[in-house]
Amino acid sequence: MEVRSKYESPLVLEKIEIVESTFRKKDEPIDGVELGVQVERSIKKMSDGIFEVLLETTVCDEEEKVFVNVKGRAIFSTQQENMDILEKNTIAIMFPYIRSYISIITTQPGMNPIVLPAMNIVAMVNDQKK
């Protein structure tokens, strides 16, 4: 079955995969622990119209009582030439997959799963470029 829309994006996600993940929780109470989120990314042109995007997300507290690191890799095809727009859109497409994966790997007895909030990808990329 094929689904078509007159609003199809010129940016196509060809493949996405989790290439590495780490989850650690120390054997001590984590009530009241404040977690921070750090996102790193890179984008590489593989050939005309084909780009590889790596997205690494780390969630942890200062003492690393809880530490989660997930690296995702995606291949996109597009005729988009504006790298700034391309970078923001690819990350916005990939982030929900990373977010879901983090929730899944942190679901275990005795711990509430980590559910990352929605993030303003445009603001994050702009801040990281400063």
Residue 130 is predicted with a pLDDT of 73
Q: Whole-model pTM?
A: 0.86
Return the CATH architecture of domain 12-109.
Roll (3.10)
Please choose, from the candidates 16, 25, 38, 23, the residue with its C-alpha nearest in 3D space to the C-alpha of residue 105. 23
Tally of residues, the chain: 130
Distance CA 13, CA 96 (A): 13
Enter the DSSP assignment of 10.
S
- How many CB atoms are located within 10 Å of the residue 39 CB? 18
Distances (CA, A) of 78 to 41, 58, 75, 121: 18, 28, 10, 20
pLDDT in tens, 29-84: 888 889 999 999 999 999 999 999 999 999 999 999 999 999 999 999 998 778 88
Per-chain mean pLDDT for the chain? 89
The yes-or-no verdict on residue 101 having pLDDT over 90 is yes
pLDDT in tens, 27-43: 888 888 899 999 999 99
> Domain segments of the chain: what residues?
12-109
Contacts of 121 (CB under 8 A, 6+ apart): 88, 91, 92, 95
